[in-house]
Chain A
């Protein structure tokens, strides 16, 4: 590949103005059609002009270069900035096309370095290249080591594809609540821009007047049902937008995820960076027997959107995908080693002492500071809730070591099963709080360069935890072990 400096695709010159116009659509409607333009809206139009000009300027001032060792991007008119990413540091190359870009055949390329030790060094974005050019660049950057093929490796093995029935899990993810925020925000913005007065809402006013006469309980139920329906519908919409056409495939040395209805995304995970997988079940999703699955990879920290292996789907499906990706069905086996009676009672002690503390404080405030008595009476409910949570948390506690993979499971509000290959374990932390020492328990943490950077088995009986760490990485602890 030559070292010439290249520009982004010229079709972006058409994309920028349209994007800005769409974003400021409420203002335009207000000015052009309703004709209530004031001083502020004229300034909004000036802002629109400036935004379009800035977008065009960005195209003219951005160039990039791909050499044998580096990817470089130069941008800026007055203060020129050059971002340089060494090619052997490139961990991810993600492709995204927003609707307008898709129509024009354009794709945004995000080159990630995923450095764990430096914040802000997140790689470079090329917004946007022609789609064919983008996939060629990805193939070049990711497959250089495996023989520098000009084309992407064929994806032989489809591991999972979205089934339309999975959309039913949408409402259990609560993504609709975020969507409501966005919708309400833009509606408020629109109303504000077009400057509707209360007088314009005659129909709404009379409707509100009539409902005010209805009994309170009916209103409450009505609002609840309406909210529930709205959240569900929006959650489904959000699910479809994000995950339609979802497909997880395995090719030579890579996993590739393709998804999205309007905006399409393609993410690639190199198998040599894969260290494990995580199956997570937030409480609502768990109640619907659903789960999601993500990859634990070096270079992708925490819960990265690039590490999605399966959207909310039936739990068996999430387990199957985790097993398939790690090529080991044992990692999702139901039977795990339980943590025993002391871990069990510790869950109760913790939950109930929180409940007792809250109730006691509220009761004291009621007696000495004249707070209403119903507050501590309501707080009494935290005892049964705490007990239920404690029992569930204990039942979800478990660990295992199968075929060189460490498995931890815990959590109640979000239950997670984390599978980490032992060759990805960098070190161990044995944490013992005062009460854990008295109970003969410890929390075993495996530190790693992948995913969340640390994975913990909570409240394992001490001797068992030490034996587990020893079995996972034989020899490392040997000089310090005490044997019977």
Chain B
């Protein structure tokens, strides 16, 4: 067999709605920071704070313009009968792979913001405390179908999967 040169990324993208979700989540964080700075400026009137405020605003715009798109292009997932394979991150990226035979639990989890956008996170845990494989930003119904699928595949694997 020819030598291995690379690992291809997982096949499926996450939901397009995830872009909006990531934008909204980041925006909330930035708004808190900007508001705090604004209040501080209003109370003290200290001139250099204006510069800080402008820099923060520029960072906010840059982050919101770049991060969600970049994340969306990186976040991918794929499952087969044997494995769960994911890719996540943006500046730093990570690919995780776990055999279905070693899966211990499959959970879906939705925060309030996720519910607003109709999204869900899927977490697959194994016997390793460092081994959970997570897929963020899935459509809620995709996540539910995937959970069912994985749960069925996992059943009938004997042993405690360590």
Contact = CB atoms under 8 A, between A and B. Distances in A.
Interface of A: 116-117, 298, 301, 424, 426-434, 437, 445, 447-450, 452-454, 462-463, 466-467, 470, 475-477, 479-484
B3 A427 contact: no
Contacts of B8: 480-482
Give 9 closest A-B pairs by Cβ, nearest first: A447-B131, A427-B98, A454-B130, A449-B127, A449-B162, A447-B128, A483-B2, A482-B6, A453-B130
B91 interface: yes
Given A429-B97, A432-B94, 16 more contacts: A298-B127, A426-B126, A426-B128, A426-B162, A427-B98, A427-B131, A429-B94, A429-B95, A431-B94, A445-B130, A447-B128, A449-B126, A449-B161, A449-B162, A453-B128, A480-B85
Given A479-B80, A484-B2, A448 B97 contact: no
Contacts of A481: 4, 6-8
Given A479-B80, A484-B2, A430 B7 contact: yes
Nearest to A433: B92
Nearest to B96: A429
Interface in B34-84: 78, 80, 82-83
Most chain B CB neighbours (cut-off 10 Å) among A429, A433, A467: A429
29 contacts: A116-B128, A116-B129, A298-B127, A426-B98, A426-B131, A426-B161, A426-B162, A427-B102, A427-B128, A427-B133, A432-B92, A432-B93, A433-B91, A448-B131, A454-B130, A462-B6, A463-B3, A466-B6, A467-B4, A470-B4, A476-B83, A477-B97, A480-B85, A481-B4, A481-B7, A482-B4, A482-B8, A483-B3, A484-B3
Interface string B1-27: 111111110100000000000000000
Interface of B: 1-8, 10, 78, 80, 82-83, 85, 91-99, 102, 125-131, 133, 161-162
Contact of A477 (B7, B102, B128, B161): B7
A428 B98 CA distance: 7
